[in-house]
């Protein structure tokens, strides 16, 4: 199974044999890849019935739960790595889920669509909410309730007490180095608790 570009990058940041928690795991593709390619073990958490069934089909340990309720089912520092991939923007309490990630894991990885991308600004200047491959919903039916820019996330991470150890920003599946705040469509951050 071919991984999304951000999941390939995330997988590259996870050590062989790591104990991983994937929040909003979808079909479990990341955990299945980590299990098969790196001997990792762990759990996925997702709320959607279809995603949970797909993860089970991928032979991934999955728990059906609402991330908004917290991660009380897990102990402090239970995981080497906690991943929240393209889910942060759909969380009502983004700060709380970051704190919970820091509590249950030694490190974390978060990816999200970059609302600071220049096409989004042009769309807003034209009087419309942006609709892009990374944010593919109309304003009235979107699950994305907390859109942010790279700087917004960095400020929140500092407020929560996270130390960013790596950042990759992507556009069309390629890393962006020149004007990343304007050109990147997707951001991936790795962090430790302070």
pLDDT tens digits, one per residue of 2-32: 888 899 999 999 999 999 999 999 999 999 9
pLDDT confidence bin for 1, thresholds 50/70/90: low
Listed range (58-67, 80-89, 132-141) with the worst mean pLDDT:
132-141
All domains of the chain in start order, with CATH: 5-114+147-193 (3.40.50.150)
- Could you write out the three-class secondary structure of 124-152? HHCCCCCCCCCCCCCCCCCCCCCCECHHH
Report the alpha-carbon distance of residue 62 to residue 58 in Å, rounded. Answer: 10
Compute the distance between CA of residue 18 and CA of residue 80 in angstroms, rounded to an integer: 6
Q: How far separated are the first and last CA of the chain, in Å rounded?
A: 36
pLDDT tens readout for residues 74-99: 999 999 999 999 999 989 899 999 99
34 has a pLDDT exceeding 90: yes
The pLDDT value given to residue 194: 61
pLDDT at 175: 92
**Which range (25-34, 133-142, 152-161) has the least confidence?**
133-142
pTM over 0.85: yes
Closest CA relative to residue 150, chosen from 111, 114, 98? 114
């Amino acid at each position: 199974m071919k991984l999304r570009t951000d999941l390939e990058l995330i997988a590259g940041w996870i050590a062989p044999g790591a104990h991983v928690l994937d929040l909003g795991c979808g079909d479990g593709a990341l955990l299945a890849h980590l299990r098969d390619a790196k001997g990792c073990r762990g759990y996925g958490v997702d709320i959607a019935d279809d995603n949970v069934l797909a993860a089970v089909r991928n032979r991934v340990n999955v728990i059906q739960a609402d991330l908004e309720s917290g991660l009380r089912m897990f102990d402090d520092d239970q995981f080497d790595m906690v991943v929240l991939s393209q889910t942060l923007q759909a969380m009502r309490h983004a700060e709380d889920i970051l704190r919970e990630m820091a509590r249950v894991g030694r490190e974390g990885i978060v990816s999200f669509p970059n609302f600071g991308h220049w096409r989004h600004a042009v769309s807003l200047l034209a009087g419309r909410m942006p609709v892009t491959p990374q944010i593919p919903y109309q304003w009235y039916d979107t699950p994305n309730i907390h859109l942010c820019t790279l700087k917004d996330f960095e400020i929140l991470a500092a407020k929560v007490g996270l130390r960013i150890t790596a950042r990759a920003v992507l556009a069309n599946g390629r890393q962006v180095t020149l004007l990343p705040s304007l050109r990147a469509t997707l951001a991936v951050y790795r962090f430790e608790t302070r």
